[in-house]
Structure 1
Amino acid sequence: MTPPQQSLSSGPLIPPSGPVSPQQQHQNQGMFHQANDFTVMGTFIEGNVIHNNVTSNQFMKEFLEKTIPGAQFDSSERDPPPRCHPTTRLAILDRCLSFIRNCDGKQKIRWVVGAAGVGKSAVMQSVVESPELPVSCHASVFFSINGRNDATKAIATISYQFAVKSEVYRQVIENEISRDPSLLQSSMEKQFNKLIVEPFIHEPQLDSAGRVLIIIDGLDECNHPRIQLNLLRHICNLCIKYPSSPLVWLIASRPETHITSFFARAEITPIYEKVDIPVDSDEGRADVEWFLRDEFTEMKKVIDSLDPQWPKEQDLRKLANASGGLFAYAQTVIRYIGYSTTGSPTLQFSDVLNVIDNHPMTDVPREDHPMASLDALYARILSNVPSRIMINTRKLLLVLASGWNSVLPQPRPLFTEANFIVLCNWLGMTADEAYAALNHLRSVLRVPGRDKAHKQILESFHKSFIDYVSDFTRSGFSPHIKREAQRLKNQCAFRILKEAPDGIDFFGAGYSMRYCTINPGPGTGDKIALSWPVVDGYIGWDNCKTRLNVYKLAIGEVITGIKRGDQTFQNEFCIRLLTTGLEVYDMGFPFRALCDLLFDESRRDGFMMHGILKQMPLKAVNTSIIFDVVKLHFRRPATGAVTNVPHPQNSSCDHEWDSEWQEGKDQDSKTTFVWELQFVNPEDGMSEWTYQFWCRRSPEEHRMYRSTV
């Protein structure tokens, strides 16, 4: 059979991994670390023999890299964590501890549900810190939109904590990961079974160890509703299938519709107990009032100029009543009054009382508008920002609401690439401009000091403030906040890329980020202008790291722009950047979107003219460079075709036809070939098949290719 004679190649573009031969698998063993996969965990495979060549300390160090930084209850990233004020929420805490102590059979889940700001995280924190906690071991995941929302790492985060606390457990999962180094790159279902179910159900020493508590706080804040439900499904399946399991689950979330609907299912209701933390309850108001009294007492100890009789009893009660049981409201008020740099506590308190008086809740059911008082307070705080600096304040709020740092490594206890210095340089904002823009928002935003700006991020004290800003019906901030934020990020990205058109080379190695690893150079990147350059005094940080990370942010915007089909990034420069400027492509990289763009008929000639695509005889293609997959695009022409034309396929192909073929209408098909290439020549003597393919080169072959161009 005669194959077609021409192919189009987009160069060193890497497709998603497919099945590979045993020989190729053996060749790939040494590439896990380079490809940013979880390393082989101290093992390498030679035939059927597994060799262990590192210590358990190295295993745990590498395991830690696959967890959610700062998500466990005692992390320094959450220090000080939200916890219940002394003598508050006592009834809720007691009910949670009683459930953990007495739950039996399938009912091993307690769902703590409440609106934003009622103190769910504080309850969960206080439970895990309780000296009366009736468990032999516990692990926790405290999700947050402030960089702790990657649910794909939730199981690894839980597993790591158990591995730290239990030698038996550590040995079990170390052996498991040694046998399958890709485990922590696998689906949530596989991780849950291998790291949670099998150790605690099938390992006798763990199954009989007594009650084991797993706390999941802020489930609604992890990064996708589908993943949230997926996690819930695995937990519930465990409780149903293994009622004698030692695992007890404490899960807190807002009453989001998809979560509420899941827990309402008939097969789920028997396995959990629900506790509501209501808005505007007598217990909630009393707890908030107690908290406010204690905070005002402490404030007067620190500020001795305050009147000992301040505040008046009726004013304090007015404030407690306005809170409606929302601790987020009470905490924001205390920060606004006591830690403001723009006014005295008494004047700031009068300001809050005026807001309450001007937004009365008379005859308005609190359950219909649970955030009304908090919204009014947030509106007042934002209104204090002077108009002359609001342009910079707006930029900072836009990026906070848009997840600006998603492509950079998440915060670590002592170091983060997504720090405040990087953010300001990304926006082209000086340190003075940034602090001026944030000066009036310190009651709602945690602003790093200058001495910690290289290792801390700007974040909101409570998610409710970002929710408020993002909702135009509540804040009036932006009618299209996602679109406005994206325009801002596009501007930042192209500014950086214009200053480093030939790439960066600061440390002479690949630069890892989400989706990919960036090739060094050939440009140095030293022309990237810094609005906040680092001077002496920052240990572990310098201007090269700032330039590197703003460049990563720019590359991330190009990748996500291609992924969502943004025409802003569908140009020669961006495509060449993604096809020649990257070394290793990770899961999540938009291969399909990029390939569809490359081989779009209306653009193909232009890409060929600029050398992005090259046409060559099939016999000139060295199939030995093909890593795992060849993708072909077939077309059955609209005219001249006859019925019963054989399809160009075999048992190793998977065709995706766009429609049923009709005479007078072209029909396209995309298929993936794995290693063995076979072409079927239609036997009607009239039909002709054209195809396009793209292939993956190994990093070594890619470097060799670049050195010869």
Structure 2
Amino acid sequence: MYRNCNNILVTGGSSTYVARGSVVNIHTSRPDVSFLLFRQLKDHVAEGALHNSGEVSDHPKCHPGTRTAILEHLETWTRALTYIYPIIWLYGPAGSGKSSILRTIAQILFEQNLLLASFFFLRSAPGRNSSDRFIATFAYQLALSVPPTRPYIEAAIEENPLIFSLSLWDQAHALIVSPLLAWCRDNPTDEYRQKYPHVIIVDGLDECQDPNKQCKILQVLCRILRTLPIPVALLLASRPEHHIRSAFDLGNLNRASSRLALDDSYNPDADIKKYLNERFSQIEQHHRPYLPISPWPSPEVVDKLVTKASGQFIYPSTVVKFVGSLRHNPVKRLDMILGIIDAGKFRPFEELDLLYTMIFLDIDENDRVDVLRILGVLLVPYKEDHSGYRTPAFLEYLLNLDAGDTRRMLFDLESLLSVDSDHDPVRFSHASLGDYLFDRSRSGQFWIDAGKVYADLAGHYTIRLPECKELPSFKGFFHQNISFFFSNATPTLELRKAIESCDLATVMSLSWRSTSLGLFSDNTPMLLQAIRSSAFSDANQLFTDKLASYAKIIRPKIQFYFQVIALRHFLIATVVLLGVAPVDNHEFYFECLQSIFIRTQLSSEDKYGDESPRYQFDIPELTVVQVLKTLFEDNSVSSLGYFLDDNQYGDIAIYLVTFITHHSSDVVLPLVTVGKCMSTMLPIFLSKSPIRQDLLEKIKHTWPHLIDPSYLHFDSIKDALMTYVSRSGVRFCGKVGTF
């Protein structure tokens, strides 16, 4: 209104302004009019938005001794004579303590007469959740902080009673900029800093309902600062929402502002630990009869709570508020927080849950199901050897999403997480978010069923498995997690369809090596065993159906082994021995089996002897062993044609008895090493063998003088031989004893 004022003349009880050739008179001698005009301004003020209003001041400020570095930084900045960057944007995730910091610094500045105006937005408070009362509230505080501006503000209202319905900038120009310019034209600007406050504080901009209005407020505030010839500064705090961040990236706002992130740079963990220890100490003083003699809580529990807070103060604040209830036992209340005992009807995380719920309510309803699906996959626990599995690129490949879908779906959750590049993991600001989402009593309509997430993962892995060569990391993740996914999955219709439609032939063709001996490097048994461990009521039938398909496909592989005696013995012995041996010993036993059967027996067969050095075997996965063991030994699937009769075991037993009488020079392992393996294997095959004359004769003619003495050090070998002979009912004598 007072733009381009040529002069200001004050005579008696009135002020006269000449603006653009027009004369405006303000009659300060009419207190009744002044009162009514100021009352009109007051009626458009958001009273609860001021830093010292009951609504704001009742909320906590920074705990004494915490956030000292950032508060000192802000105090130093406010006292600068000039500002290279007159705007500071303090940003951080939801619940990180931004409002506590601004409430604290606002009170400090107010006591030092440096606070010009403040506005604390709050989504749930009428008047504080929109831009409607923002400029009027600012102007009201300006009139109180800089009294000479009050008559100019009243004059603007008198001239245009509808001023509060104008655009934000038109309101700001008439009620803030012009009154200050009017003062500046009559006074040296240097005097302003000596007499009046100059810092504006705006908190929770993201809680203003309309994102477009949030950006408009930023533009208006920046324009106010650029227009005024006096050094006014703005401290503004918000969550790092995309549109706010974009506004700070561009134009005058970018050039006039610096950013202050509430991240690990200010060591929030140390502040949170100090806060927890001091508050628990206060609780201890009020609840001494309830507390144990030992230190409570233990340092380990405090550290656990600090970790769970993830640098965000709302978590420890919620914990302390719940545990410190005067009407309850704090030990039990803390155990509820830690999940040691059931919380029952109590809601330990009510404040935190409300924060999460408010954020999730902002998600577009059309996207909500997809957003929760992506969050479920990102948050459920599973094994991972690197962080590449929780990236947008990997998720979009796995779940068959379009490129960019992850970023788009998580757009409204930037106060809880960050999405950087497609190949960087999604980073969560709150470690407790998963606790909220996976607990139906806390998250309600936003609950994520972890069992269905695992079903989703298991189903998509089953569908995507035939394509695993396109993404090498996929195969590694499959190996680590497929059994875990299936065993924890809810038995959904989608998962059943994925199992039934999976083409095992394609899976096997991609996982086998080119050599015909690649049976041990097959991934398919891992999938079969995972299906067997699933929660479907007919899981065994699903497994058997798939096993039948598998049996047909691997027949050529099995036949290749079975047409060579040494390879047949090696395959059967591998399946039998590794099927009972601890997994930690598989590598040791497998090396011994190759020495016993491949380097010794195979090299003695003229037809294949020259080729034996070319046979390379991978240590089989346990699932490969388990599936082959089912085919060889489970009578319920004998119709598939792989069931072994007793004589197969008898043939191997004869070979093993022969082996221990003539330790071949082809065996490069020490005899004691092979003996340890033999002490486990020979008893198994003798126990499975039928009573056969040729096996009895072999034992009779080798016991004990032809057996290498090193093997006789193992009682299990001697006992197995005697037990087998005892089963036959035959008795004969030897130097060691009588059978």
Same fold, TM exceeding 0.5?
Answer: no
TM-score, normalising length from structure 1? Answer: 0.44
TM-score, normalising length from structure 2? Answer: 0.42
Q: Which structure has the greater CA radius of gyration? A: 2
Give the structure with the higher percent helix: 2
Give the structure with the higher percent strand: 1
